[in-house]
Amino acid sequence: MKLRYAGRCRLCGVELPVGTLALYDREAKKVRCVECGPADAPSTPSTASVSDADAALLSPREALGDVVTGVAGASARREYLRRKDNRETRIRDRHPVLGGVILALSEDPQSTRAWSAGAHGEEVLGRRLDKLVGQGAHVLHDRRIPQSRANIDHMVVSSAGVFVIDAKRYKDKKIALRVEGGLIRARTETLTVGSSNQTKLVSGVQGQVDRVKTALASAGVAGVPVTGMLCFVEGDWPLFGGDFTTAGVMVLWPKKAIEVVRRAGPLGPAEAEEIFRALASHFSPA
């Protein structure tokens, strides 16, 4: 249907202006964008392939030939909206008269808002990465890790190799590396975000890199350089320098990540596309 009023997709959160073709969920009394599909269909494709008819519904950012490149932050945005909708339903069911007032005077719990913040970070970085398409780079967003509940935020294949990028949004938080020991006692490196130890984020990216290397080896393209990145959106970085590498994972911000990805490297265009398609096939959209 064409919308007579502006709305927002209840799954991915994209704004839907008046006149946009959309799908109406009669039971939920909410709309979905055509990319998210009908209410009784899976919210994301189960494979990386898409028919010509489906591809016509996707923007160039979301489809490349027979490969669905994905939507940055889609799964995190869906989870945020699911939690938000569930909370609203619970409050209105428990308080039929005052439910609306309670919702207006309160906010979602931090655990719910964190999903929105995470989705925003992925979306911001995703838009920056999408500008590399057509410049010798291939981009995949929000990919499901097989046999896992986890996902990979972004993967980029360029002449410099494969980049596995985990987007994080810690607004105005200082990102730093604390190094201790190294002479008498063992050297330790700790990633800090504000005053918090977030070294576990580095371990998460290392695990993702290992999964990607294994997938490439199974596809017969082992030996490709695979680099892990932790990309902090809207963090507090110094005017000069600031980025660093710890445990083999680069820690940086969007502009710096783009610079690294665009560096010249050993992969030719045909080899880069082969790797891109192998990754798209193994890691389906989340």
* Residue 57 reports pLDDT greater than 50: no
d(CA 175, CA 154): 20
How buried is 256 (Cβ within 10 angstroms: 0-12 exposed, 13-18 middle, 19+ buried)?
middle
Interatomic CA distance for residues 109 and 87, integer angstroms: 9
Question: Which range is most confident: 17-26, 112-121, 157-166?
Answer: 157-166
Task: Indicate the range of 35-39, 223-227, 278-282 predicted with least confidence.
Answer: 35-39
Contact between 210 and 201 (Cβ < 8 Å): no
Query: At residue 280, does pLDDT exceed 90?
Result: yes
Model's pTM, two decimal places? 0.75
Q: What's the pLDDT score for residue 23?
A: 75
The whole-chain average pLDDT of the chain stands at 83
Rounded CA-CA distance 65/187 in Å is 48
pLDDT exceeds 80 at position 207: yes
pLDDT tens string 5-54: 667 776 666 667 666 777 766 556 677 776 565 444 333 333 334 333 33
Percent residues over pLDDT 70 in the chain: 80
Q: Mean pLDDT throughout 114-127?
A: 91
Q: pLDDT higher for 83 or 223?
A: 83
- The candidate with the shortest Cα–Cα distance to 120, out of 251, 276, 254, is 254
Task: Tell me what pLDDT residue 239 has.
Answer: 81
Q: In angstroms, rounded to a whole number, what is the distance separating the alpha carbons of residues 42 and 27?
A: 17
